[in-house]
Every structure is written in structure tokens, then in C-alpha cells.
């Protein structure tokens, strides 16, 4: 049985480990022994312990993922560890670690230190003939300018030739939520390598756990192309969202419903993926990825004369979107937050997940608190908000003491909530920042004497 090591057990690595461990041959036997490797930090040790106990380490609504994890633990095809020596006999090593960039800075600078250390660990331990697959989203040029040189250096220390470890790039498209696992095994995948042998090994590996009959692989001509595809893909999505921001403000000012307008536009196939108004962009990908290529052009590829005005404006616009919601709420409160009590519903960056990294709700909450308001936070998928170090409400509270409620995330619990029962008897402002309330709900709530407004809609719509 071949051995696969997954380096990094975050939101991508943990799910990837389960997906690979599920791969079976024609006799329903596991194809791979999969070992997840993380650092001996508090969070790393917690993830390892959780996975080894058959419990997915992040809140998830994907029952298939949780069931599959228990299966691969029980059949012995997966375990997790901090022991780096497991790389020594791995046939395939998949890299799923973080690579950050301070995207809010005027001129973001790539931060490779931790990534370089992880590549050194692989170079010091990987056996000749092993395939390294970079799944982490990286700046274009990383495989050629960072990964390969480090591997070559470490192999030379071991008196091994540079080509004794194979290298490929295949970026993830993981979407935490109800289709968490399916976004790996039942979704299109891009890959590339700078030599034919590496490409063949990567293709064969991906074909073992991805449904390639229904979702064929796409091979690009180089790792540089594959790296570029990932960051361009996410920059496009981030720019699409940013584009809607100015129309959101327009719709609110002139008194139209931007959601019904976009629904009308989306009927046209060429415009079917236009985004909707909302609180803003969060998470680990769409926030930072638009900064990768501008930084890489300057710092890795020696193309200092290239400019990316759309990418830069996308970051600026998306960072400012929660401020618009703050401004709208302040207007609804007659321009004064001092002494008010606000309930914010949803701190995760997207629906039905517990990921709070770069959540737009965080920006909104800080702005409100800075104005002298007490903010109480609830999220059905988050018990402890790591970024602020606070425990959240486990149940929605009664509303007698609140001046306003802001609905921030389209969690199923909020979409399906009995608002009439929850709001009855209260007198407050309800601001829907993410199209959670239906028109019928909005009209019924207003009949209770409650002010209901929405981001992306004119007053009273």
C-alpha cells in the first residue's frame, strides 16, 4: 500500500486527508495509508487528537465528511501525528500549510519563512522517487523560485540529485459547508508540473480519489500556469463581489431592490455568476489572493513594471464593505451608538461553517464597539471566537434589552428562524446584511412595529 503524507491539517488538509484515505481499489480495499502531519502547537495537537478520535476538528454541516472520517479511522487507512519522520517513507507528500500575505498593507510583502521551513523539512526527509504536490495557494513562481531550490539544497546535503524528488502543483477548491468533502472528490481539478514524470505521477494520484470520469482533470503547461490560475480564479471572484458594492449603495439611495435586479440579469447565461450584495468578503482565500500576483511579479518574477489596478481596488473595496453596513446601522440608530446594545448574528465568513478568519463581521463589530455600543455575538457554528478571545452565545437570546439586531451570515438557523415568535414584543431595528429575510418575512415583521431594512435594498423594501 502506498503512503501519502498530508502536511498541514487545517480546513483544507484535514478534509483532503479524509478524501485520499477514502480511495479504494476494485476490491473495496484502501489504496493509500494516509498520515496527517501538523505542528506540535496547541492548535495542531488539538486537531491531531480530534482526528485520531474520529471527530472532524472544525464545525461542519457535511454529514458525509464526518461519517467518512470515522470510516477511515476504523479501517486504519488514516491517522494524524506530529512526527516528521513519517515523511521518510512517504510516496506522496501533499502540502496544505498556510502561506500568508499582509494584504491590507499598501504594498504587501510575501511572507515565506514558515513555508520555507516546511519545504526544508520535506527536503531533509523525503525519499528518492517521492512526489511532492503543492496544494497550498501560493504566489505565481513559488514552485520554481522557492520550493524547487529548497528541495535541491536539502537533497544536495544528502548527496542526492536534484531530480530525485518529483514536484507538481494542484490547487485546492475546497468549499467548507454541506458539500465540504464533495468539493474535493466530486469537482474539477487543475494540475501541472515542470517535467513529464512529475505530471504523470500527479495525474495518477489525483485520479485515485477524484471522480475524474465526471470531473476530468485539466493539465496546464507549467507550475507557473497552475499557480497563476488559482490566484486569478480567486481574484476574479473577489472582483465580482467588489463590483456589486457600488451598485449596493446605488440601490439603497434610489430605492430599488438590487436582489430582484440581479435575479433578472442572471437569467442571461453570460451573466449567471454575478454576485449579490452582502456584508463583505472574508475567509482565507478571497481576501488575500488578489494580492499574491502583484507581489509575486515584483518579488519573485522580476517584473517590476507590471501593475494590477483592478486587484488593488478589489482589495480596497472589499475591505470597506463592512464599513458601509456600519454606516447604515448608525443611520438607523439616528447617528448614535453610545449606550446601545447590538446583537450580531453570525461571525463566520460564510454560511454553515465555523471559519472566522478575516470575517467581515469582525470589522463591523470592532467599528460598532469603538462607537461605545455593547455588542453581543451569536453563531451556531462558533463557540469560541479565536480572533477576539471571547466565548459566544450558544443560543439566541431574548431581545428585550437590545436596540438592534444585525443578520450577517446566511446560516440555515437564521434563514429558517421563526422571526415572528422571536421578535414579538420587542421594539428594535433589524438590519439584514446578507439577504437572509424573505420578502414575506420582512413584511410580516414590519407589521409587529419593528423597523426592518436590508443591505442592497431601498428603505422599506
Amino acid 448: pLDDT: 94
CA distance 208 to 189: 13
Q: Where are the alpha helices (DSSP H) in 144-279?
A: 148-157, 182-185, 196-209, 223-254, 258-266
Out of 167, 201, 222, a domain closes at 222
**Same structural domain for residues 286 and 183?**
no
Query: How confident is the model over 392-404, as pLDDT tens digits?
Result: 999 999 999 999 9
Residue with cell 420587542: 426
Please report which helix (H) or strand (E) contains residue 90, including its range.
none
314 Cβ contact list (under 8 Å, min separation 6)? 235, 238, 239, 242, 290
**What pTM value is reported for the model?**
0.94
**Same structural domain for residues 166 and 50?**
yes
**Same structural domain for residues 215 and 284?**
no
CA distance 93 to 40: 19
- The answer as to whether 212 is a domain residue is yes
Query: How confident is the model over 228-272, as pLDDT tens digits?
Result: 999 999 999 999 999 999 999 999 999 999 999 999 999 999 999
* Selection from 259, 271, 196 nearest residue 458 by Cα: 259
Spatial contact of 48 and 42, defined as CB atoms under 8 Å apart: no
Amino acid 102: pLDDT: 86
Spatial contact of 150 and 157, defined as CB atoms under 8 Å apart: no
Out of 176, 201, 222, a domain closes at 222
Spatial contact of 86 and 35, defined as CB atoms under 8 Å apart: yes
Per-residue pLDDT averaged across 125-144, rounded? Answer: 97
CA–CA distance from 386 to each of 56, 355, 389, 419 (Å)? 18, 10, 5, 29
Q: What is the mean pLDDT of the chain?
A: 96
* DSSP structure string for 7-59: E--SHHHHHHHHHHHT-B-TTS-BSEEEEEE--SSHHHHHHHHHHHTT--SS-
- The answer as to whether 241 is a domain residue is no
Per-residue pLDDT averaged across 17-43, rounded? Answer: 96
Query: How confident is the model over 179-208, as pLDDT tens digits?
Result: 999 999 999 999 999 999 999 999 999 999
Print burial letters for 2-30: b (CB count within 10 Å at least 16), e (below 16): ebbbbbbbbbbbbbbbbbbbbbeeeeeeb
Residue with cell 471559519: 355
**CATH code of the domain covering residue 430:** 3.40.50.720
Instruction: Using the predicted structure, report yes or no on whether residue 413 has a pLDDT greater than 90.
Output: yes
Predicted confidence band of residue 106 (pLDDT cuts 50, 70, 90): confident
Percent of the chain with pLDDT over 90: 97
**Same structural domain for residues 160 and 291?**
no
Neighbours of 256 (CB within 10 A): 16
**Same structural domain for residues 262 and 117?**
no
* Selection from 149, 288, 304, 168 nearest residue 225 by Cα: 168
Q: How many domains does the chain have?
A: 2
**Same structural domain for residues 133 and 179?**
yes
Per-residue pLDDT averaged across 12-23, rounded? Answer: 98
Instruction: Using the predicted structure, report yes or no on whether residue 357 has a pLDDT greater than 90.
Output: yes
Residue with cell 503543492: 134
Amino acid 149: pLDDT: 98
**Same structural domain for residues 172 and 300?**
no
**Same structural domain for residues 287 and 341?**
yes
- The answer as to whether 246 is a domain residue is no
- The answer as to whether 402 is a domain residue is yes
**Same structural domain for residues 89 and 156?**
yes
Listed in order, strand segments (DSSP E) in 321-412 are: 341-345, 374-378, 384-385, 390-391, 404-407
* DSSP structure string for 113-134: HHHHHHHHHHHHHPPTT-EEEE
- Print the domain residue range for 379: 252-454
Please report which helix (H) or strand (E) contains residue 68, including its range.
helix 63-74
Out of 202, 222, 242, a domain closes at 222
Amino acid 103: pLDDT: 82
Per-residue pLDDT averaged across 413-429, rounded? Answer: 96
- The answer as to whether 247 is a domain residue is no
Percent of the chain with pLDDT over 70: 100
**Same structural domain for residues 183 and 263?**
no
Instruction: Using the predicted structure, report yes or no on whether residue 314 has a pLDDT greater than 90.
Output: yes
CA distance 351 to 33: 33
CA distance 381 to 176: 12
**Same structural domain for residues 361 and 271?**
yes
- The answer as to whether 303 is a domain residue is yes
- The answer as to whether 316 is a domain residue is yes
- The answer as to whether 339 is a domain residue is yes
**Same structural domain for residues 331 and 443?**
yes
Amino acid at each position: 500500500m502506498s503512503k501519502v503524507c498530508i502536511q498541514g491539517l487545517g480546513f483544507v488538509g484535514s478534509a483532503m486527508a479524509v478524501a485520499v484515505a477514502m480511495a479504494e481499489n476494485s476490491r473495496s480495499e484502501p489504496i493509500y495509508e494516509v498520515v496527517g502531519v501538523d505542528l506540535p502547537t496547541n492548535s495542531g495537537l488539538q486537531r491531531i487528537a480530534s482526528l485520531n478520535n474520529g471527530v472532524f476538528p472544525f464545525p461542519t454541516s457535511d454529514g458525509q465528511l464526518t461519517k467518512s472520517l470515522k470510516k477511515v479511522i476504523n479501517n486504519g487507512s488514516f491517522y494524524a501525528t506530529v512526527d516528521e519522520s513519517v515523511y521518510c517513507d512517504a510516496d506522496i507528500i501533499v502540502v496544505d500549510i498556510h502561506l500568508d500575505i499582509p494584504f491590507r498593507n499598501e504594498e504587501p510583502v510575501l511572507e515565506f519563512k514558515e513555508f520555507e521551513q516546511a519545504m526544508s523539512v520535506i527536503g531533509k526527509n523525503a525519499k528518492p522517487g517521492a512526489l511532492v504536490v503543492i496544494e497550498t495557494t501560493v504566489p505565481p513562481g513559488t514552485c520554481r523560485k522557492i520550493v524547487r531550490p529548497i528541495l535541491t539544497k536539502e537533497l544536495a546535503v544528502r548527496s542526492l540529485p536534484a531530480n530525485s524528488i518529483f514536484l507538481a502543483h494542484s490547487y485546492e477548491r475546497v468549499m467548507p459547508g454541506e458539500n465540504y468533502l464533495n468539493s474535493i472528490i466530486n469537482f474539477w481539478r487543475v494540475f501541472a508540473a515542470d517535467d513529464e514524470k512529475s505530471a504523470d505521477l500527479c495525474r495518477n494520484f489525483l485520479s485515485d480519489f477524484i471522480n475524474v470520469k465526471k470531473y476530468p482533470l485539466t493539465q496546464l503547461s507549467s507550475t507557473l500556469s497552475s499557480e497563476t490560475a488559482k490566484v486569478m480564479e480567486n481574484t476574479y471572484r473577489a472582483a465580482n463581489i467588489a463590483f456589486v458594492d457600488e451598485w449596493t449603495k446605488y440601490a439603497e439611495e434610489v430605492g430599488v431592490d438590487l436582489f430582484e435586479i440581479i435575479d433578472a440579469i442572471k437569467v442571461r447565461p453570460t451573466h449567471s455568476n454575478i454576485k449579490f450584495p452582502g456584508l463583505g468578503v472574508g475567509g482565507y482565500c478571497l481576501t488575500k489572493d488578489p494580492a499574491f500576483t502583484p507581489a509575486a511579479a515584483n518579488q519573485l518574477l522580476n517584473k517590476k513594471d507590471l501593475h494590477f489596478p483592478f486587484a488593488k481596488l478589489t482589495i480596497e473595496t472589499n475591505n470597506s464593505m463592512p464599513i458601509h453596513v456600519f454606516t447604515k446601522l448608525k443611520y438607523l440608530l439616528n447617528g448614535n451608538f453610545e449606550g446601545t446594545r447590538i446583537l450580531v448574528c453570525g461571525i463566520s465568513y460564510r454560511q454553515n461553517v465555523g471559519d472566522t478568519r478575516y470575517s467581515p463581521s469582525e470589522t463591523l463589530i470592532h467599528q460598532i464597539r469603538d462607537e461605545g455600543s455593547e455588542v453581543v455575538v451569536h453563531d451556531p457554528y462558533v463557540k469560541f471566537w479565536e480572533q477576539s478571545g471571547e466565548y459566544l452565545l450558544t443560543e439566541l437570546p431574548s431581545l428585550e434589552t437590545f436596540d438592534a439586531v444585525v443578520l450577517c451570515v446566511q446560516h440555515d438557523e437564521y434563514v429558517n428562524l421563526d422571526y415572528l415568535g422571536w421578535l414579538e414584543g420587542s421594539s428594535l431595528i433589524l438590519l439584514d446584511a446578507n439577504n437572509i429575510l424573505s420578502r414575506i418575512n420582512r413584511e410580516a415583521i414590519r407589521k409587529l412595529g419593528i423597523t426592518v431594512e436590508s443591505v442592497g435594498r431601498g428603505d422599506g423594501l
